[in-house]
Amino acid sequence: MPTDPTGPDGAVQSTENNNLALTFDDGPNPTYTPQVLALLGQYHITATFCLIGQNAQQYPELVKAIVAAGNTLCDHSWDHDEQMADKSLAYIDNELTRPIAAIQTAVPGASVHYYRQPGGNWSHTIVSEAMRMGMTPLDWSVDTDDWQRPGTASIEYTILNKAKPGSIILMHDGGGDRSQTIEALRTLLPTLVANFHLQPMPTNPQATADRSGVHRPYF
């Protein structure tokens, strides 16, 4: 079990159980999100999707497909502003709340349990605002660097060498050409499924309550 589950400003960097969590950022994307969903479905597993609000608004059918397959939702800001930490509270609140509205327009009543800050550029204000809105701040522990398109072999090597029970793997289904990510997943999923419990980040109320306790000192 991991010993230090919290990262920058208290954002979680572990599943806090023995599961392995795949997380996909910057979608939904009409080319790559359906491919990720098909691959996950092939192995009867689910993941956590960190959606950009603008994309959720543009592709509501993809939001529906993500939810219908049983995946966990994560807010990834309205327009991927990596400099949000330097801006006003009103600006931050707008960046965090608009994606939830877009998601719930696509899927009425959908719960968004997590928030992930673009670029991992957290601040205490961003963390506390996400939690005030009922979202757990979600960081990661294994960065595949897939957004830089380092080559399929590099993505696979990073995951095979760094993944362990409790890991949160950062990958991307949007924001550019993600064909390397898709190919790495296609190659690795049989091995990952054989060696880990692949589950989305937990959504039970107790987990959220526990996080509140962890973060209380920041208020």
Q: Which range touches Zn ion (CB under 5 A), out of 54-62, 67-75, 111-119, 209-217?
A: 111-119
Structure tokens at 216: 């209380």
Contact status, residue 112 vs residue 92, Cβ threshold 8 Å:
no
Residue with tokens 């719960």, as numbered in its chain = 111
Taking CB under 5 A as the binding criterion, the range among 57-65, 96-104, 113-121, 188-196 that sits at the site for Zn ion is 113-121
- The CA distance from 190 to 34, in Å, is 19
Nearest approach in angstroms of CB 47 to Zn ion is 15
Q: Which is nearer to Zn ion, 119 or 190 (CB)?
A: 119
| Closest CB to Zn ion: residue number | 25
**Biggest CA pair distance of the chain:** 46
Site for Zn ion in 158-217 (CB under 5 A): none
Say if residues 201 and 111 touch (Cβ distance below 8 Å).
Answer: no
DSSP assignment string, 48-92? EEEE-HHHHHH-HHHHHHHHHTTPEEEE--SS--TTGGGS-HHHH
Contact between 75 and Zn ion by CB under 5 A: the answer reads no
Q: Which is nearer to Zn ion, 94 or 187 (CB)?
A: 94
Q: Is 25 left (phi over 0), alpha (psi -120 to 50) or beta?
A: beta
Q: Shortest Cβ distance from residue 95 to Zn ion (Å)?
A: 13
State how far the alpha carbon of 187 is from the alpha carbons of 78, 153, 156, 180, in Å: 32, 10, 8, 11
Interface with Zn ion by CB under 5 A: which range of 11-19, 88-96, 110-118, 211-219? 110-118
Build a one-symbol-per-residue string for 9-48: x at contacts with Zn ion by CB under 5 A, - elsewhere. Answer: ----------------xx----------------------
Cβ 25 to Zn ion shortest distance, Å = 4
Residue 190 and residue 194: Cα distance in Å, rounded?
Answer: 6
Catalytic residue among 76, 80, 113, 172: 172
172 is catalytic: yes
Q: Closest distance between Zn ion and the C-beta of residue 119, in Å?
A: 7
Choice among 25, 26, 75, 139 that is catalytic = 25
- Contacting positions for Zn ion (CB under 5 A): 25-26, 118
| Residues annotated as part of the active site | 25, 172
